[in-house]
Amino acid sequence: KNPVVAVVGATGAVGREMLDTLVRRNFPHSEVRALASSRSAGSKVEFGSKTLTVQELTEDSFVGVDLALFSAGGSTSEKFAPCAVKSGCVVVDNSSAWRMDPAVPLVVPEVNPDDLSWHKGIIANPNCSTIQMVVALKPIHDAARIKRVVVSTYQAVSGTGQKAIVELENQVRQLFNGQESTNSVYPHRIAFNCLPQIDVFLDNEYTKEEMKMVLETKKIMGDDSIRLTATTVRVPVFYGHSESVNIETEKKLTSKEARAILSQAPGVRVLDNPGEKIYPMPILAAGEDETFVGRIREDESIENGLNMFIVADNIRKGAALNAVQIAEVLLERGLLRIA
Ligand code: A2P
């Protein structure tokens, strides 16, 4: 019998994409339930040609459910993922609540699918910026061993959720109408601006988003020796995160070799023809599944270094698609059960 699937946070930016992705990839299911807060209970969400009535998330929501995809924020996951597991349901969680728990696999299917074998009910979906970066780093690491990474990001507002999409739209409208802009989601105006703050500041003066990239990369790549430093920036783009990535490797890779390796890598599309002005951009990656890599060139300031520009749809590969791909591997490998 095909699994009963629940999407938690089904009315949100990621939850809606999860439903679309299940349809688009023909994920086998006998039933799909849309769950959200009491605020949206009774409202409708689209599921292919059907509409689903949203139900309120409660501790009893997971009875008879085999697989739950969560994207309703960290506190919701902390509270309800264990309830789901108790009901025998396997959880793929998009929040940051469980990512660094040593008992929880943190998985990007192109990079570390085998980590799914030891799950105990919860599998964490990594941070959006981390996912697209490791898809490109893994084949480089396998070929030349990465010693150090310096990354700066240009992240879309959709990563913050539906409210942030509306905030950017409203500010653009306000400014074009000669009005003062108002903000409630971000600490400053995001329209026609860049914010070098994503999530909260930590004691070490980095933001939480920056440290997520550092810690999650080591866990997914299964290599604590990779040194990484990040600056994460919110930009006025609706869909698609961009990243400028500098990589220092143990072994020398020419840009040509790196391009050849990345062209063969799963989930990657190399878009790198400067002569024709072809390179990755959010407007190209939005609505696509692959991670786009371009501007591949040697870092002439060090012996073994590469620079590249990596762009992906943060709602797709950065969230919903990666979660559904995890579910596909679980199903294929008979891991949709709690050991
Ligand atoms: P709701 O629409 O009922 O508030 P986004 O990241 O786009 O803001 O979406 C967040 C998603 O998480 C929405 O579907 C939202 O539902 C859901 N959500 C937020 N808080 C809760 C909660 N306490 N219980 C269940 N769902 C929640």
**Does any ligand 1 atom lie closer than 6 A to the CB of residue 159?**
no
Q: Give residues with Cβ within 8 angstroms of 26, minimum separation 6.
A: none
Per the structure block, which two tokens stand in for 294? Answer: 């371009």
Residue 89 annotated in active site: no
- What are the extents of the domains in the chain? 4-126+319-332, 130-314
- Provide the angle, in degrees to the nearest 10, between the axes of the packed helices 128-144 and 208-221: 40
pLDDT tens track, the chain, 339 positions: 999 999 999 999 999 999 999 999 999 999 999 999 999 999 999 999 999 999 999 999 999 999 999 999 999 999 999 999 999 999 999 999 999 999 999 999 999 999 999 999 999 999 999 999 999 999 999 999 999 999 999 999 999 999 999 999 999 999 999 999 999 999 999 999 999 999 999 999 999 999 999 999 999 999 999 999 999 999 999 999 999 999 999 999 999 999 999 999 999 999 999 999 999 999 999 999 999 999 999 999 999 999 999 999 999 999 999 999 999 999 999 999 987
pLDDT at position 339 is: 73
CB 220 within 8 A of CB 106: yes
Tell me whether domains 4-126+319-332 and 130-314 share a fold: no
- From 37, 75, 80, 165, the mutation candidate for ligand 1 (largest count of ligand atoms within 8 A of CB) is 37
pLDDT at position 72 is: 98
CA distance linking residue 140 with residue 221, whole number of Å: 11
- From 43, 52, 75, 76, the mutation candidate for ligand 1 (largest count of ligand atoms within 8 A of CB) is 76
Q: Which of 89, 119, 128, 141 is catalytic?
A: 128
ipTM value: 0.98
Q: Going by CATH, does the domain composed of 4-126+319-332 fall within 3.40.50.720?
A: yes
> Ligand 1 atom 8: the closest Cα is on which residue?
161
pLDDT at position 338 is: 84
CA distance linking residue 48 with residue 145, whole number of Å: 43
* pLDDT digit string, tens, across residues 132-149: 999 999 999 999 999 999
User: How far away, in angstroms, is 288 Cα from ligand 1 center?
Assistant: 25
User: How far away, in angstroms, is 18 Cα from ligand 1 center?
Assistant: 14
Q: Which of 89, 119, 141, 241 is catalytic?
A: 241
Q: Going by CATH, does the domain composed of 130-314 fall within 3.40.50.720?
A: no
pLDDT at position 271 is: 98
Atom of ligand 1 nearest to the CA of 15: 14
* pLDDT digit string, tens, across residues 24-68: 999 999 999 999 999 999 999 999 999 999 999 999 999 999 999
Residue with tokens 């072994």: 251
Residue 119 annotated in active site: no
Region of 31 on the Ramachandran plot (φ > 0 left; ψ -120 to 50 alpha; else beta): beta
